[in-house]
Structure 1
């Protein structure tokens, strides 16, 4: 009979007390050694199994690897030993090839031990408690859509309130600055207000021109600065790469969760406007969901939060950009590396172009 050790102990103790059995009887009944029966009668809790200390005999002659790992604590981050580099050094300096998995397992264990002995700081995380209407998170994610029968790679914009988890989505053909701004305008209008705290972002090209790695400073795109000052919220830029993903983990998970639950299988629509109209129904269903172990649903938490948002400006921000290309001798204009035809009577003249996320409009004066 194969039983968990705790359950086996309970049965042995119960049988011995109720039936006044000898040591030998439970031993025969459960097929275990008499020593285990005595252990069960002496303690209701099994003794924890001692784990054997695993050694690496193959690495014993190469203890200098410890010295290399200690030196790495003071070395620049990009010039520390990788496992592959350690394998190469052992082969170069000692003329023996050690299997990569052997060195990998040894280094994985010793690196932690050496860091602990040296008192190196350990990476830790602090749970963030969000205030009502204060913070939000923004992200873009890829999504494929069959638009008029043609599979198209599109981008899902997500704006998520940190307290309630209420998220607003918009799908566009690009993730450029116009799509970024239009996603914000749509999200803030749908939510009915502006967060009073920080809105967390990756270091996206439409937003950040230059990252200052020594601190949290960023050189912002001037038009983006005008946008967030117009709406009165404060952007917060996460650390670049994977190190910053946890700083807006809510929206990182939201993008994937929404794609798996509402955009799978691949949506088939005649236009993106049709799909964006459906997103409101999907977001209403999301409102019935509970985040983690919370007592209230997303919709119930948002009902408490919406009153703490800052009011919107009277007019939305003009998201489109205006350009003045010249018509070439073929009756074409070039806008962001794409060419468009205009009437030939405008050859060698300048026209005014208004470019939004989905539309390009060419004007001759006001026409």
Structure 2
């Protein structure tokens, strides 16, 4: 794979100088296939799920050893197979690997699943302004949502030539939000500026211009800029006045679009409001030219680049490990992923507004909105009930017990462990069709026949008269009336 400067050089020769593939090959020395790939094809990042390598993971041997280790846990320690016994038994089955391969696999298996006592772990400023040049900056504004004041990060793009401005509200200023915001700004404009001047924000700049050399941009931002075709420029360190137009635009938008603080439902609602305000604002005349801003923008768009045909996927992929409680860290907050403790490593995909956790086998084991979105997410009841089915005694002390609706909570808190397990099985059969709240609301209609007869609690030794239980509530109807 070529380095980003070489890729950008090929694209410039192709798009700006209109050279043929053969001529670019002659100038650069690269093969025809390589030049064709980088000159005419989009180079988009893809989500890479790192598979476990080695015969213990890609073939049957790891599964065989795992089964043996699980069997041995039911035996006394002196009766269990050691590493040599396991290796000898595998050799008889035709195992082509080495003894060290077996030892490493057994060690990893035990470290992940067992405590030290071999018991299972608990899931614990430019003076001239030519057209097609833009300036970008973040600004913090204030809104009212759900009766509370909330700060919103707005990414603002100004066009000094036409004095036009566009705004995209975002929950944070990380790289995913920054790149997603740029996509939104370009879509509002309908074109891509040829040159974009930014501040030395961490989402795009690794090292500012100085004694050590020119600006060093992050690889993700370079790839984004290459896809859209614009030239990125960063201000000198501490020289915000070099993008003074957008600095003024941030203040203008804050005082004209966010005073008084608008009442919003969510970011999408705010975006709709800002688009409407922006279109109205562009109808005013330019401060020094005898034309409206919207007419100048249309003129400026002639000098801009067209939007690429393929959308750019914005995400960040990293490898994470769950702690002993089955939790991973997203945006500095611990999030419980019920089955994460089963894997030594997981892939965490973070988008501007959401996250996704993927197992080494490519299965999505958890997903939801990023914590800073302040959105609610469904509790993983299906996975929780599966854990309770295997450990029915843990229901009373589970972290999820306080979140059970009243009827279901009392239905599960019964002394008989076999009956408790039976009731968890009943819930498991319903949770794929109903939500937990729906099951609680239609509790009597969905209740098994053995528990449905309120008049015959003797039908089961641990039966509960649910009508009489509901009658104890202050707002309950008279006994004998509608149970709902």
> Same fold by TM (over 0.5)?
yes
Whether 1:150 aligns to 2:144 is no
CA RMSD between the two structures? 2.0
Q: Residue by residue, what CA displacement relative to the aligned partner does 1:140-192 show, whole Å, maximum 9, x if unpaired?
A: 01112222223222211011222212222111121111111011111112212
Query: Which of 205, 209, 214 is 2:206 aligned to?
Result: 209
What's the counterpart of residue 194 of structure 1?
192
What's the counterpart of residue 75 of structure 1?
none
Shift of 1:302: 0.8
- On the 8 A contact 2:209/2:237 being kept in 1, the answer is no
Q: Which portions of structure 1, spanning 4 or more consecutive aligned residues, are displaced by more than 3 angstroms?
A: none
Gapped runs of 5+ residues in structure 1?
1-124
Shift of 1:282: 0.9
What's the counterpart of residue 307 of structure 2?
312
Gapped runs of 5+ residues in structure 2?
1-124, 365-484
Whether 1:176 aligns to 2:174 is yes
Mapping for residues 277-292 of structure 1, pairs under 5 Å: 277-292=272-287
Q: Residue by residue, what CA displacement relative to the aligned partner does 1:195-237 show, whole Å, maximum 9, x if unpaired?
A: 22x2111111111111232387112211111111121111111
- Measured in 1, the distance between the counterparts of 2:213 and 2:192 equals 23
What's the counterpart of residue 34 of structure 2?
none
What's the counterpart of residue 341 of structure 2?
347
- On the 8 A contact 1:328/1:348 being kept in 2, the answer is no
What's the counterpart of residue 322 of structure 1?
317
- Measured in 2, the distance between the counterparts of 1:321 and 1:253 equals 32
Whether 1:302 aligns to 2:302 is no
Q: Could you say if the C-alpha distance between residues 239 and 297 of structure 1 is closer, same or farther in structure 2, counting changes exceeding 3 Å? A: same
- Measured in 2, the distance between the counterparts of 1:142 and 1:294 equals 30
- Higher relative contact order (CA closer than 8 Å, sequence separation 6+): 1
- Measured in 1, the distance between the counterparts of 2:336 and 2:213 equals 45
Whether 1:131 aligns to 2:125 is no
Q: What SS does structure 1 have at the residue aligned with 2:302?
A: helix
Q: How many residues align?
A: 237
- Measured in 1, the distance between the counterparts of 2:148 and 2:318 equals 30
Q: What SS does structure 2 have at the residue aligned with 1:333?
A: strand
- Measured in 1, the distance between the counterparts of 2:144 and 2:346 equals 34
Shift of 1:283: 0.7
Q: TM-score, normalised by structure 1?
A: 0.60
Mapping for residues 1-367 of structure 1, pairs under 5 Å: 127-128=127-128, 130-133=129-132, 135-196=133-194, 198-214=195-211, 217-241=214-238, 244-343=239-338, 345-349=339-343, 350-364=345-359, 365-367=362-364
Q: What SS does structure 1 have at the residue aligned with 2:249?
A: helix
- On the 8 A contact 2:155/2:168 being kept in 1, the answer is yes
Shift of 1:126: 7.3
- On the 8 A contact 2:143/2:262 being kept in 1, the answer is yes
- On the 8 A contact 2:167/2:185 being kept in 1, the answer is yes
What's the counterpart of residue 4 of structure 1?
none
- On the 8 A contact 1:137/1:159 being kept in 2, the answer is yes
- Measured in 1, the distance between the counterparts of 2:332 and 2:342 equals 19
Shift of 1:308: 2.0
